[in-house]
Structure 1
Amino acid sequence: MASALTDKLTRLVKEMRGQARITESNVTDMLREVRMALLEADVALPVVRDFIARVKEKALGQEVLGSLKPGQTLVSIVNRELAATMGEGVADINLAAQPPAVILMAGLQGAGKTTTTAKLAKHLIEKRKKKVLTVSGDVYRPAAIEQLKTVTKQAGAEWFPSTPEQKPHDIAVAALDYAKKHYFDVLLVDTAGRLAIDEALMQEIKDLHATLNPVETLFVVDAMQGQDAINTAKAFKEALPLTGIVLTKLDGDSRGGAALSVRQITGAPIKFAGVSEKIDGLEVFDAERHAGRILGMGDIVALVEQVTAGVDIEAAQKLAAKVKSGDGFDLNDFLSQIQQMKQMGGLSSLMDKLPSQLTAKAGAVDMDKAEKDIKRKEGIIQSMTPLERRKPELIKATRKKRIANGAGVQVQEVNRLLKEFEQMQDMMKKMKGGGLMKMMKKMGGMKGMGGMPKMPF
């Protein structure tokens, strides 16, 4: 996510933190580097100029000059102004309307409108407890209607049928009528996209807007488009009263310019960000948290949310009770820990949210290799019999060979997994009774990550 921009700004942040004195000269040098990094990241020139001017004004003010740690204060200013460029905090979606609240999805073809419509439906169902109906007004691409039907089903929402022979206006009127009669809370309208901006598209979407009178008109834009995203955003803003922006493919954005430019250019807040291809890969956009990610400070809040969503609380409580009662930690429990890691979205997804100073060494490691290692461990345990999982001490030479053949690995891999399991088992024994608090205190006294016990991933 915004890797090139993040790398450059992270390096600058480190240099800035080390500054004992802030002068006009070193601020100018630093801002020159920031300016180049932003321009290379495809941030619009007017946005860059405005950002640099704001940072310079505050950097040469009393807030920094009078600080005991001017370098750190300067970093916080850059972080604050980055957040301000993308918006202030979180801009919530507006559903304050007589049901159904209509949300119109606008954007160019290929921006991810249809998938985003389904992702938003899932978000509204799970997070806002709403009854959601989707409809496609894209009569020019029959595949788009079928695609919306498929992804709507995945999201758990209801789909209103439409055909290429119908007019978008008629589809919208029929869907709105159906939504009212069947007491839907929200109607999501996926509109037609084009490969380029044209008058016919703009007129059609203006007519749809006038017909539906939506509470939200969301502009869906591909974050990887860079400067092109800004130009299309400007054109849509002139045609429609945009109430918000959804940035898609933010996980694959190597430049990051769209996120920094699109709000200032359109004046509409960024409300959501597409962070993965999965149906639940839509996040409420938080400008301050995103600024932290760009500066390599990580996003610990998002990390906690992701871990919490992926953890089976009931299973964790059962394991804790089992350990406390003195029952042994077996290979079934070990497998459960590995599978929970997969549910959390995998290593690379978790690492992306950690501060860069913690992931600098891990960055050199092939994350794909680590992910494959998790799957290999899972395969080895699944090649064991139920008895072997409950009583690992039974696994001797002949059993190891059979397990290795079943999992398609070498015997050494089975030995390695069993050794890691024994380390985890020892750790669990120490957690019994008051051992957990002692262990936490011991870990707290160790520098860096070196004191952490070896985990199964």
Structure 2
Amino acid sequence: MFENLSQNINQALRTLKGKGRITDVNVAATLKEVRKALLDADVNFKVAKSVTDTIKEKALGQKILIAVEPGQMLVKIVSDELTELMGGQKVDINTKGDPAVVLMSGLQGSGKTTFSGKLALYLKKQGRNVLLTACDVYRPAAIDQLKVLGEQIGVDVYAEPENKNPVQIAQNAIKHAKATGKKIVIVDTAGRLAVDEEMMREIEAVKKAIQPTETLFVVDSMTGQDAVNTAKAFNDRINFDGVVLTKLDGDTRGGAALSIKAVVDKPIKFIGTSEKMDGIDVFYPDRMASRILGMGDVISLVERAQQAYDEEEARRISKQIRKNQFNFDDFLSQLQQIKKMGPVKDLVGMIPGMGNMLKDVQIDDDAFKPIEAIIQSMTPKERANPEILDASRRKRISTGSGRSIQEVNNLMKQFDQMKKMMKMMNQMDMRSMAKQVRKK
């Protein structure tokens, strides 16, 4: 995400590298390029001008520390201002109430229904008892879509297919939630292809009737400045509490994320990071600013790893490594854990420096498929005992997986190198433990 914006801003900031000090001239030249990068990213013109003016004022008023280069100082100032532009700090969703009611709003095609399911799963993982409510009475497949999502994630869906009154449906859903012990009700409302008076009156009526604890506006981030204009139109009528940016994984520009808070003065609370049902992240402005500037996002990377982490499986593999018995079954298991963490390119962007290094490299989400095909073409005995994979077995695996013999040999070579490295690290750990015992 934000590849174009990140590349352009970093290119602009490189002009200050090696400079002895910050001056009116070099700051003006750098910020001219930063402003251009923001405008190219479809950021609102007034927002782009305001933020670069603030950066200039802070940069020229800054006492440069001896240990810090001017370029580094400006990167820090830009990072702080991008963070402020996107809201300063993360804002949690309000789920207080018995039950708490979350009202979803937005245009048709913004990903509102899918996000309702994602949010339900996110809250369910926190141990909350959630009820999804189908109040889109216009789109023929909307109720069915929500039911399919509910079944997929194990969350109940309240629907009245024959009732065409969304206000009544929402009120009945809340009564049903109270009767069945549900703690959170997510109300999925109808959208239209454009902002219109009928839609606005309807969602105003639903909000007034159910008094939600949280109203979220869902918008497709890839629509850029249109997303900001739509957000303003909705906020003027229903005064929502927060924004959800969907399809951010496919947004190379980032105009909506950078403009929306400044224009409507409402926080971005969630972002959609993939099409999968767990493709949802809480929005952290500081982490996003860090990623835009190519500095990575290690905290989010660790959090994703913890979510995908299977403690029992990790202990089993650790035991295999200590015994020097790590095999292809274990390797395949580790690949599955990594895949649970999200799109590969997204993960790479969280590693400091890697986003810029690999900006022109296409990293497909199917990057692991060739490896999985090769391993799955092995017999159980071969996966458990990699050392028996002679030339004839490798040729059979190549044919069975549809991969070249060279790819099979490369995988074997990489696997052997990985085993050697694991063995060496294990020996170092053992020596370290022995030293600790001798000290005691």
In the superposition, the TM-score normalised over structure 1's length comes to 0.89
Whether 1:385 aligns to 2:379 is yes
Matches within 5 A, 1:8-407: 8-64=8-64, 68-97=68-97, 99-127=98-126, 129-163=127-161, 165-324=163-322, 326-345=323-342, 347-355=344-352, 357-368=353-364, 371-372=366-367, 374-407=368-401
Amino acid at match of 1:433: Q
Match of 2:435 in 1: none
Work out whether residues 142 and 163 of structure 1, in 8 Å CA contact, stay in contact via their aligned partners in 2. Answer: no
Which secondary structure state, in structure 2, belongs to the residue aligned with residue 272 of structure 1?
strand
Work out whether residues 218 and 245 of structure 1, in 8 Å CA contact, stay in contact via their aligned partners in 2. Answer: yes
What is the aligned residue count? Answer: 432
* Residues 38, 187 of structure 1: alpha-carbon distance in 2 compared, 3 angstrom cutoff: same
Match of 1:414 in 2: 408
Alpha-carbon displacement from aligned partner over 1:379-417 (angstroms, at most 9, x marks no partner): 222222222223333222332332222222333333222
* Residues 292, 17 of structure 1: alpha-carbon distance in 2 compared, 3 angstrom cutoff: farther
* Residues 396, 361 of structure 1: alpha-carbon distance in 2 compared, 3 angstrom cutoff: same
Uncovered stretches (5+) of structure 1, i.e. residues with no partner: 439-457
Measured in 1, the distance between the counterparts of 2:413 and 2:177 equals 59
Measured in 2, the distance between the counterparts of 1:170 and 1:29 equals 59
Alpha-carbon displacement from aligned partner over 1:208-246 (angstroms, at most 9, x marks no partner): 111011111111111111111111111111101211111
Measured in 1, the distance between the counterparts of 2:361 and 2:31 equals 32
Which secondary structure state, in structure 2, belongs to the residue aligned with residue 367 of structure 1?
coil
Measured in 2, the distance between the counterparts of 1:34 and 1:206 equals 40
Measured in 2, the distance between the counterparts of 1:150 and 1:291 equals 36
Measured in 2, the distance between the counterparts of 1:75 and 1:349 equals 22
Work out whether residues 135 and 159 of structure 2, in 8 Å CA contact, stay in contact via their aligned partners in 1. Answer: no
1:50 Cα deviation (Å)? 2.0
Amino acid at match of 1:411: I
1:114 Cα deviation (Å)? 0.5
Uncovered stretches (5+) of structure 2, i.e. residues with no partner: 433-440
Measured in 1, the distance between the counterparts of 2:345 and 2:67 equals 37
Amino acid at match of 1:179: A
Whether 1:429 aligns to 2:427 is no
**Between 217-226 and 151-160, the greater mean CA deviation after superposition:** 151-160
1:371 Cα deviation (Å)? 4.0
Work out whether residues 122 and 280 of structure 1, in 8 Å CA contact, stay in contact via their aligned partners in 2. Answer: yes
* Residues 26, 164 of structure 1: alpha-carbon distance in 2 compared, 3 angstrom cutoff: farther
Work out whether residues 67 and 73 of structure 1, in 8 Å CA contact, stay in contact via their aligned partners in 2. Answer: no
* Residues 317, 18 of structure 1: alpha-carbon distance in 2 compared, 3 angstrom cutoff: farther
* Residues 366, 236 of structure 1: alpha-carbon distance in 2 compared, 3 angstrom cutoff: closer
Which secondary structure state, in structure 2, belongs to the residue aligned with residue 189 of structure 1?
strand
Alpha-carbon displacement from aligned partner over 1:307-361 (angstroms, at most 9, x marks no partner): 222233322222222332x343333223333333333335323112223x33444
Amino acid at match of 1:247: L
1:17 Cα deviation (Å)? 4.5
Work out whether residues 20 and 71 of structure 1, in 8 Å CA contact, stay in contact via their aligned partners in 2. Answer: no
Match of 1:444 in 2: none
In the superposition, the TM-score normalised over structure 2's length comes to 0.92
Work out whether residues 58 and 77 of structure 1, in 8 Å CA contact, stay in contact via their aligned partners in 2. Answer: yes
Which secondary structure state, in structure 2, belongs to the residue aligned with residue 214 of structure 1?
coil
Measured in 2, the distance between the counterparts of 1:63 and 1:245 equals 37
Which secondary structure state, in structure 2, belongs to the residue aligned with residue 433 of structure 1?
helix
Amino acid at match of 1:126: K
* Residues 172, 389 of structure 1: alpha-carbon distance in 2 compared, 3 angstrom cutoff: closer
Measured in 2, the distance between the counterparts of 1:419 and 1:71 equals 42
Measured in 2, the distance between the counterparts of 1:206 and 1:159 equals 23
Which secondary structure state, in structure 1, belongs to the residue aligned with residue 125 of structure 2?
helix
**Between 301-310 and 284-293, the greater mean CA deviation after superposition:** 301-310
Measured in 2, the distance between the counterparts of 1:272 and 1:321 equals 38
**Between 48-57 and 76-85, the greater mean CA deviation after superposition:** 48-57
In percent, how many aligned pairs have the same letter? 47
* Residues 328, 223 of structure 1: alpha-carbon distance in 2 compared, 3 angstrom cutoff: same
* Residues 334, 242 of structure 1: alpha-carbon distance in 2 compared, 3 angstrom cutoff: closer
1:88 Cα deviation (Å)? 1.8
Work out whether residues 12 and 31 of structure 2, in 8 Å CA contact, stay in contact via their aligned partners in 1. Answer: no
Measured in 2, the distance between the counterparts of 1:31 and 1:420 equals 45
Which secondary structure state, in structure 2, belongs to the residue aligned with residue 193 of structure 1?
coil
Amino acid at match of 2:292: I
* Residues 2, 432 of structure 1: alpha-carbon distance in 2 compared, 3 angstrom cutoff: closer
1:164 Cα deviation (Å)? 5.6
Alpha-carbon displacement from aligned partner over 1:169-194 (angstroms, at most 9, x marks no partner): 11111111111111211111111111
Measured in 1, the distance between the counterparts of 2:399 and 2:62 equals 69
* Residues 12, 207 of structure 1: alpha-carbon distance in 2 compared, 3 angstrom cutoff: same
Match of 2:437 in 1: none
Measured in 2, the distance between the counterparts of 1:331 and 1:173 equals 54
Amino acid at match of 1:138: D
* Residues 300, 114 of structure 1: alpha-carbon distance in 2 compared, 3 angstrom cutoff: same
Measured in 1, the distance between the counterparts of 2:398 and 2:378 equals 9
1:86 Cα deviation (Å)? 0.9
